Amino acid sequence: MQKESCLKLQLTMADNKNIIVHKKGLISYEEGLSFQKELFDATIAIKLDNRDNDLATQTENHVILCQHPHTYTLGRSGEKNNLLINNKELEEKGATFHEIGRGGDITYHGPGQIVGYPIIDLDNFFTDIHKYLRFLEEMVILTLADFGLEAGRIDGLTGVWLDHIEKKNPRKICAFGVKASRWVTMHGWALNVNTDLEYFNNIVPCGITDKAVTSMEKELGEKLDLAEVEAVLIKHFENLFEAKAC
């Protein structure tokens, strides 16, 4: 019904700005990647068919929201030695390691973290990957502000940070790593909400050696309702992208 409702709305729009939100809960990293690829490949196929056959079939836009079991992922520009434990230690910690095709270095995914994977066709919005990344950052910054946390960007560093102005003790709270082809996006963000931060001790997060990592729970002193945080994230996604989630 959710997808059918979105498709009905599409018929009235020149460019499809509807976002189909998939709330997947706790899924393996492999399952999340496979689902991303399925949606990504289907969108690319429509765009190629439009080009080759002079068609104007609308593409869909998706955001996958999920959590993963303990997982480390290394982006294509990362250094494998930023993983500080070996295969045996990974197994002992119940964690897995994946080298993947997104941008960025190494990061951690785990329970209590909101991972978001937008698979959207930027031709429906704007064809500017830098603007896209700034909008994702702003979505997180505005969400944190709604929960009483002041966050922002630090020049030359990826992610969203606390203490981003004075930088006495800057702490990363959200990591980003994206990929785009033919203006279709993959991968996305990882926001630490109720995350076990001990797992970050096994890596050099995002290749940055002199900065800390934090979570909403640590900063606010209490666990948060993940569904509530997800709802606020999607609200700001809608506003920034002038989109409609369904």
List the catalytic residues: 206
Q: How far apart are CA 138 and CA 191, in angstroms?
A: 13
Residue 69: CB atoms within 10 Å: 14
List phi, psi (to 5°) of 3: -65, -40
Radius of gyration of the chain (CA): 18
Place of tokens 């944190």: 144
